Structure 1
Amino acid sequence: MSDTYMLEATGLTRRYGGFAALNNVSFKLRQGEIRGLIGSNGAGKSTCMDVLTGRGRNQQGTVCLNGQDISRLSERERRAVGLSRSFQKTNIFPELGIRQQVQLAARKAEFDNTEEVLAELSLTAIADRTASDVSYGDQRRVDLALALVGKPKLLLLDEPAAGLTIEESLAMARHLRNLAERWKLTILLVEHDMEVIFAICDRLTVLHLGEVLTEGLPDEVRANPEVIRAYLGSTFA
């Protein structure tokens, strides 16, 4: 892992009236790192993802991607320079063919690696079926395929294992780890499944009430009394 910071987020803040959904949050991700962003419901995780991608208004702070300040870029412009995101709910079109919607995403990204992405996620054999005609696990992989089109530098994943079985979740975690190494991807991962988090992440950042509670190596975070009290519970002590 190099000393290059792929992502530098400084002072990220989003307020709604007098309520701070995110308050002065800062962290850095090294190139090739997989960082877990965890916290209880309402901690600010999805809001943080929104601010990083330029989604929505009322945001402050600086976002740098591979040394380039992208804070003033639109959501689409940030995607074009290499920042991609998936969402909690699948972002797919149920009635469209799988290959067709990956091709549409590739056209928008102006970089067509459709067949590579389909093969990478073992979707080639079902690529001509409509998304509504495949399993939920396959739909989650289609959602990931849409985010991987164009080979982004930084991939933000918002609960990619939501609704999957334990076996499917761990298989996805292993695949993401392998993919990150081979494609030199940097990943910021929001996930409630702690088995996935501890299996895949190099470091963790913990949010609590819109602020950074702590960050560190997975074992350090797992043993932190404040984290146990605020989020993990005795099960992970």
Structure 2
Amino acid sequence: MSGFALEGIDMTRRYGGFVAVDKVSIALVPGEIRGLIGPNGAGKSTLMDALCGRGGGTTVGTVRFQGRDISGLSARARRRVGLARSFQKTNIFADLEVREQISLAASAAETDNTEEVIKALGLSALADRRAADISYGDQRRLDLALALVGKPSVLLLDEPAAGLSISESLVLARLLRELATSWGVTVLIVEHDMDVIFSISDRITVLHLGKILADGPGEEIRANQEVVRAYLGTSIT
């Protein structure tokens, strides 16, 4: 059995003649937070879609979850085995109360951990309020809560800090680190906020033009001149 929480092996996704992801291999060890960065159009969200079984186009490659080949499973079936995904735009229902929609999401999961998720995400004081009536930052935490229903072991996050202030982004980053540690959740996170990425990632993978440009600890990525030229623009200090 593989020691990896999630593996994508030679992942390729084509849309007609356009190759969005080109033979990318990535492997996440249990409990790690892996940052996934790169310029717009590099293939980051597309790679996440391929890993979780979503999106159109033609996908080639193998996805293994805790050593099991799940390449043939639907997105819903992959969610049931413990591979969860969040999106750039929130999936919340504005007219439903916070607890109500977390509970509804939990009804489809084998493990109903509604109250645990509410507490972990700091939503207890907001549990009986409509999602439309809470702040945008709280809505982003609610969206993360929905992804954590059923206590998945691997979480794919697509720009969870989008639209947040610097302080809100850093609070979310600390929360993600705490969850990865206390729940043993493995996280693959796409994020344009480099403060968030470099503050919480154990390792960072850089995509460029659908291929891996670099992969390694944050210090190596900061110093990699190819990454600086292709994406970062200047060295991050």
TM-score interval (norm. to shorter): over 0.9
Q: Distance in 2 between matches of 1:85 and 1:18?
A: 27
1:111-163, Cα deviation, whole Å (9 max, x unpaired) = 21000100111111111111000000000000000000011010000000111
Runs of 4+ in 1 over 6 A off after TM superposition: none
The letter of the residue matching 1:129 is R
Q: Distance in 1 between matches of 2:109 and 2:199?
A: 31
- The structural deviation recorded for 1:223 is 0.6
Partner of 1:125: 125
Partner of 2:23: 24
- Trace 1:187-206 onto structure 2 (pairs within 5 A): 187-206=187-206
Q: Distance in 1 between matches of 2:87 and 2:143?
A: 8
The letter of the residue matching 1:175 is L
The letter of the residue matching 2:113 is N
Query: When the two structures are aligned, how many residues end up with a matched partner?
Result: 235
Partner of 2:159: 159
Q: Distance in 1 between matches of 2:235 and 2:130?
A: 41
Q: Distance in 1 between matches of 2:145 and 2:174?
A: 16
The letter of the residue matching 1:27 is I
- The structural deviation recorded for 1:235 is 4.8
Q: Distance in 2 between matches of 1:194 and 1:170?
A: 11
SS at match of 2:227: helix
Mean CA deviation greater in 136-145 or 57-66: 57-66
What TM-score do the two structures reach when normalised by structure 1? 0.97
1:68 counterpart = 2:68: yes
The letter of the residue matching 2:49 is D
- The structural deviation recorded for 1:168 is 0.7
- Contact 2:12–2:20, Cα closer than 8 Å, also in 1: yes
Q: Distance in 1 between matches of 2:4 and 2:120?
A: 26
SS at match of 1:22: strand
What TM-score do the two structures reach when normalised by structure 2? 0.97
- Contact 2:223–2:235, Cα closer than 8 Å, also in 1: no
1:111 counterpart = 2:111: yes
The sequence identity of aligned pairs, in percent, is 64
Partner of 1:41: 40
Q: Distance in 2 between matches of 1:62 and 1:16?
A: 18
Contiguous gaps of at least 5 residues in structure 1: none
- Contact 2:222–2:235, Cα closer than 8 Å, also in 1: no
1:44-66, Cα deviation, whole Å (9 max, x unpaired) = 00000100110024111100011
